[in-house]
Structures are given as structure tokens and as C-alpha cells.
Chain A
Amino acid sequence: MAESSHAFVRTAILPAQKPPLTEKGVIKWLRENLFSGWFNTILTLIGLWAIYSLIAAALPWWLNGVWNAGSLGECRAILAERAGPDASGACWAMVRDRWHQFMFGFYPQDQYWRPATAFGLLFAAIAPVLFSGQKGFQTCMLAGVAAFLAATFWLAQVPMLAVGLTTILMLVLLTLAQVRPAAVMWFTVIYPALAFFLLWGGSFWVPVAAMTGLLVLLVAYRLLLPRTGVGIAAGAGIGLALLWWAVLDAPVAAGLTWLAPIGLEPVASDRFGGFLLALTIGVTAISFSLPMGILLALGRQSDMVLIKTLSVGFIEFIRGVPLITLLFTASLLLQYFLPPNTNFDLILRVIILVTFFAAAYIAEVIRGGLAALPRGQYEAADALGLDYWSAQRLIIMPQALKIAIPGIVSTFIGLFKDTTLVAFVGLQDPLKGITQIVRADIAWKGIYWEPYIFVGAIFFVICFGMSRYSMYLEQKLKRDHR
């Protein structure tokens, strides 16, 4: 061993020492994030005090909640007995007593299985849209729907025929999702008619005849497409479908009903309320406003003067008017323009105007996506020799829609929450309409926070779900070079 000039050299490496107490774990995190200086320390203390006082004020109210009582007065009596005369507490007994009205409005109670089934099948219908090409997710979602429906059938009084048909439908869908996932999309196409039949009831043949119109459109389009262009084929198809709806639809439905009178007990629109109403309006408006918005956005960029003017006029007019005004138009003005004694359903009128409203906003969001695409993408599509619709379908829209996802989902979330505004035209929305009805009962008059919290929580779950899905979709479609 060489002679060292140093007095002492350690030959063995010391075991690593633990970091000082102030530089590790919770204490380090606290020091760095909460107490890094006198100013931040004061802010932290103020924050802690605010949180403490909030919890101290609200916690007893949540913990003392009463679930079993017949009226607000009983709630108060139970509370006073349990927690002393001055204790505060929630009266959730109101939710227990009236939850069915918050969910279904005045829908006949023995028919609750119908909206519940329609709600379950909704997820089966949107599964192929939400998770296209992802077999695992689709199967999971379908299994969830099957479980939900099984629970519904177990809890509610459901006719055996409906149980049988739904079971067969779910088995077919689950098998298809394994064998040919793309074919599940066909269920999505017929779902609107099925949901209409389940919710409103009446003759089975009315939605069938209406869907036949779409079949007419499709057949005409397919037959004409090789001989003419997209425009003429689509135009002729739409024309024939309109002809079907205007002339043949009603007699065919009536004839089939006479031949085979099958159907469900009809339920009038004015029995709809609560979340049934909010979801009916919201889901319909969301699903129709997206295609309408895409067409409007394209129309606004079109070179054809008439189409461009109409699109711009529509978008700017609808966006320039508050939703409440449109709702009042739906409820009050339209009556005067229609022939006397026509009974044009109020919910239908509201759905149409809410759809228009959302479509105008979606159109502008998508126009933003279109504007963000580099010019080269359009030129590349032209260079490939694609016609207008192919270019839109294969190159432009997939990219523009991807860019616009956050905006589109924001619009949808806003739209869904805006459905509560229908309270102003006398419809029973969950937040104001049903709450007002519940409060008008002398047993629950004076209750304030509980209905708002209950309804707000359900809205939060739905909107948060939409928001998380949009984040998932953005991740999945990420193709940029970051």
C-alpha cells in the first residue's frame, strides 16, 4: 500500500446517514409548501383557520342528518331529542320521501321501469360511440348496463315480456361486442326510437314507421350514390324520407297498429319531470346538436353564398339571444303562430330550441378547430384527389374535432346544466320545479339546503363524468410531438 501524504484516509465507506429531520418527509413538505416564509406562514394559518371554522360550522349539520321522519317538524323533534334543543341537522327524510319525484317527476309509479330501462340502454347505445374500437371498455360498459337492468327488474314491477326481450337484447349485444364490435353501432342508430317508445309509450308501430323513414333515406342514398354524386344522392334520400314522413308514415303506423295492436300504456309529456326531464332534454339536445353544429360550421366556411349567409345568420341570431328568451319563445310565442287547437308538445318545443341553441355554440367551437388546422392539411386532401365530403370525413374533421374536444364537452356540460332553466316555462326541472313542489307541501315547507344539495350532487356526478371522459379522449387521441 502506497504511503499516503494524508494523515488519515478512511478505507471503508460510511453507511448513508438519514437526512436531517427538517429535510425529509412530511416536515420537509410542510416547510417547503406551507411555511416557506413569514408571509406564506400567515396565509397558511389563515387558511387552516378558515377550513376549521367551515368544518366546525357544517360538520354537525351533516352528522346529525335525520333519515326517518314524516315531516320537517318531526325531523326537528327527532333532532332535538337526539342532539339537544339547539343542534342543527340536515333533514334527509325529505329526499327519502320524495326522491322518486326528483328522479321521475309525475311519471306513473307502476311504469318507473320504463325510464329506468331507457336510461340503462342509453349507456349500451353510447358505448360504441364513446369507446369505438376498444373491445374491453365496450364489454365492461355493456356488463355494467346488464347489471343495472338486472337490479331494475329485481326492484320494480316489470312485465315478464319486457324482461325477456331486454335479456335477449343484452345477450345479443354482449355477443356482438365480442364477435363484431362495429355491429353494436346499429343499436345506437335504433336507440332513439326505442327510448321514445319506452318513455312515451303508445303504439309500438309509431317509432317503427318513423325509423322506416331513415331506412328509406339510407336505401335511396346507397342506390343513387354510384350513379350520381354525394350531394344529389343525399338530397334525393332526404327528399324521399321527408315524403315518407309527410304522407305514408301516419297511415302505415295506424294500419300496423290496427293489424297488431301492441304497445305500452301512453304517458303524456306533462308527467315528465325531475332528472327524467333533464336527461331527456339534455341527451336529445346533445346528440342532435353535434351533427347540426358540424354542418353549420362547414356551412359557415362554405363558398356558396346562400349556405354561408343562412349559417352565419342562424348562428349569430341564436348566439345573440339568451336561452331564457328562446324558452319563452317556445312556450309562449309558438302557440300563436300555430293553427288553433294544435297541441304541439311543450317538451318537444323546448327540446328543439335547446338543440338549436347548443348547435350554434358547437358550430363556433368546431369552427375554432377548423381554423386551427394548417392550410396544408386542406391542400394535402385536395392533392390526394379526395372530394369535399371525403376530405372532411377522412382528413379535416378527425383533426378539427380532436382540437375542439374540450370546447365541445364544455358546451355539453353547460347545456346539461341549462336544462334546469325550463323551470321558467312551468316544466318540472329537478332543481327549481320539483323543489318548489316539495316545499309547497306543508310537511316540507321551510326546508332549504337539502333539495339543492341532493340535486347538485347528482348534477356534479354527471358533469364530472363527462369532464373525465373528455380528458380520457384527449389522452387517447394525442398525436402531437410533445
Chain B
Amino acid sequence: MKKSLFFGTLAAAGALAGFASADTLADIKARGELLCGTNTGLTGFAAPDANGVYQGFDVAVCKAIAAAVLGDATKVRYVPTTGETRFTALASGEVDLLVRNSTWTFSRDTDLKFDFVAVNYYDGQGFMVKKDLGVSSAKELDGATVCIQTGTTTELNLADFFKANNISYTPVTVADDSEAQRQYVAGACDAYTTDASGLAATRATLPDAENHIILPEIISKEPLGPVVRHGDNNWGDIVRWTFYALVAAEELGITSANVNEIGTSTVNPEIKRILGTEGDMGAMMGLDAEWAKRAIAANGNYGEIFAANIGESTPIGLARGLNAQWTQGGLMYAPPFR
């Protein structure tokens, strides 16, 4: 009841705001700056470095879109949003889009009047345990104490998982990731559960990482991706296809190194269409012919972004897994550019 009231208010507000600015692209061009709602700080995905410059996997999406729309990847204003303020900030028009590890769910997509235009990271909830616990599967965690962040969907997933497998657990609720890590290291809980990407980052920073394992079970689906408001489908298209240009670029072998010459040297017509050397796809969305070329040049293709921010060569060391190209057994599948 309370929740639906909250959603209803947000939705009404979103509808109002939708009327207010129906042409996001024109607003951004007039402003000369993309307003990108981001995380207040999440390792690997969005965090400012020592010089205050935002870096990360989600940030790269913002940069690519700014490059496509404004021709300059640095013309982004990052608006840090918390779990509570993120959707209102988007609904009220404070940000143009939200790239903030937000899970695509039914009610967010429909009731909140948002559009999840793509999925830039397929995540899922996992478990980390100490090796000497002697556990190799989450189903063996009967009677364990589990550290869990309160007020998140992970808390509900955890309860569902244990109920479905008919085993018991004792939750140790913590406020945020740093506290969870501290409790887990201090031995207050046997297992720590959160999104698998977060577990990997946490494990990487433990003093004795080799003594901890992430269990193979992934107990939830967390498709994370950029979100826009209802009411401006063209803007949604721009965000969606800029992202898919990055994915298609990886599939077709367009990289930040060769993006400038491959458009003319290649014989592949799809590469030519993406890079604007053949046809004029950008005009269909109100952009120029070289939009995708600039987006790819900003941080490289999807694979390069992944490798630079969270991939196996970084301390976080995430494997591609579900986020590999569909040709490699993953779920990254860009629709054809035609």
C-alpha cells in the first residue's frame, strides 16, 4: 500500500515532468552539457578519482552519449544520486538519464514511467565465504550467519533463496558495503551476500583474498542499465543505440585504435553504416552521421570499456561471464544497424 502510494506520487510527478520537457535532445544541445545521474561512489562503476574526475564503467556510458550528442565526451555533469533520490531526480528532470546500477524491474519500468533502454551489465546476487568454512555451494549454508545490507532487494532475494531450499540462516544487517566488509573480516558473519560484481571488488581488497571464495550460485537476476523518462522516445532511442553502437563495435572489431580509419578501409557495410561512411543513420535520430564514431572514440568499444574499468586486468578482476558477446556465450547482443 505504502509502496504503491509512493510509486503513484512519483509516477504522477514523472508524467508532469514529462510534459514539461518533451525534447531532451534540444535541451541538452541548448545547455551544452549532458546531466548524467550517477552513483555517489561505487568501485569500478562510478567514482571520482583523486582529482575529482569521474571514472568507471557506468561513467563511460555517459561519456559515450555526450560524445555522440555534443561531440565532446567531457561535456557531462555528473549528478551523484543516492538510492532514495535517484528516481525522483530522473522524474523531475534534474538529470537527462540515469546510469546508476539500477536494476530493470517491472514496476520501475511501468509504474514509475521510466524506460530501461538497454542493459550494460548483467549482475546477480552471490555469496562470499571464507575458505576454511569448507562450503562449496550456497545450499550448504544451513544455519550460517549472513551479512546483508538492509533495505535492498538483495535482502528479499536472500530470504526467498533460503526458504526455497528449506534451510535456515541468521541475518546480520549492515548499513553499507564498507560496514559489511568490516563485519565479514571481523568474523561477525560466515557469509557476505551482495551483487557478484560488488563481491569481487570486496574480495580483491581483502588482505588475504586467497582465503575467500565466491560461491558458484547466483540467486537473482540484476540487469543494470541506463534509464530515461517516458515521453521522449527519440531521446530513449539515442541512449539505446549509442550503447548498442559500443556493443556492435566490439562484435565487428571496431576499437578506439582503429575507429578513424576502419570506416574507409573496411568492406563490411555494417561497419560503414555505423561509422557514417555509408548512409546517414544519425539523421534518423536527429544526430549527425559520425555520432557513433565519436561515441566509440570516447572510451573504445564495450569490451575495451569493460577491460579498462572492471575486467580481469584490473584489481576488481571480473570475468566477462554473462556480459560476453553472444558469439562468446554471453548476452551482449546488439540488434542490427540497418
Contact = CB atoms under 8 A, between A and B. Distances in A.
Report whether chain A binds chain B: yes
Interface of A: 72-73, 76, 97-98, 101, 105-106, 109, 268, 270-271, 328, 331-332, 335-336, 340-341, 423-426, 428, 433, 436-442, 445-448
A98 B48 CA distance: 11
A72 B16 CA distance: 47
A426 B81 contact: yes
A290 to B, nearest CB: 31
B207 interface: yes
B178 interface: yes
Given A340-B93, A442-B44, 5 more contacts: A72-B205, A73-B205, A437-B40, A438-B41, A442-B204
Contacts, number: 107
Contacts of A438: 41
Which residue among A72, A105, A341, A440 has the maximum number of chain B CB atoms within 10 Å of its CB?
A: A440
Nearest to B309: A442
Interface stretch (B84-92, B126-134, B256-264, B268-276): B84-92
B85 A441 contact: no
Interface string B89-118: 100111000000000000000000000000
| Max chain B C-beta neighbours (<10 A), residue from A328, A424, A439, A448 | A439
Interface residues of B, number: 46
Contacts of B177: 439
A270 B82 contact: no
B308 interface: no
Given A437-B40, A442-B316, A101 B82 contact: no
B50 A424 contact: no
Contacts of A436: 40-41, 176, 178
Contacts of A442: 43-44, 201, 204-205, 314-316
B75 to A, nearest CB: 14
B17 interface: yes
11 contacts: A72-B205, A106-B52, A328-B85, A331-B85, A332-B92, A433-B80, A436-B40, A437-B40, A439-B41, A446-B202, A448-B181
Contact of A445 (B51, B82, B94, B202): B202
- For the residues of A in contact with B, the DSSP-based class is helix
Contact of A424 (B20, B21, B82, B201): B82
B77 A341 contact: no
B13 interface: yes
A425 B93 contact: no
A445 B80 contact: no
A433 B40 contact: yes
A428 B80 contact: yes
Contacts of A445: 43, 178, 181, 201-202, 204-205
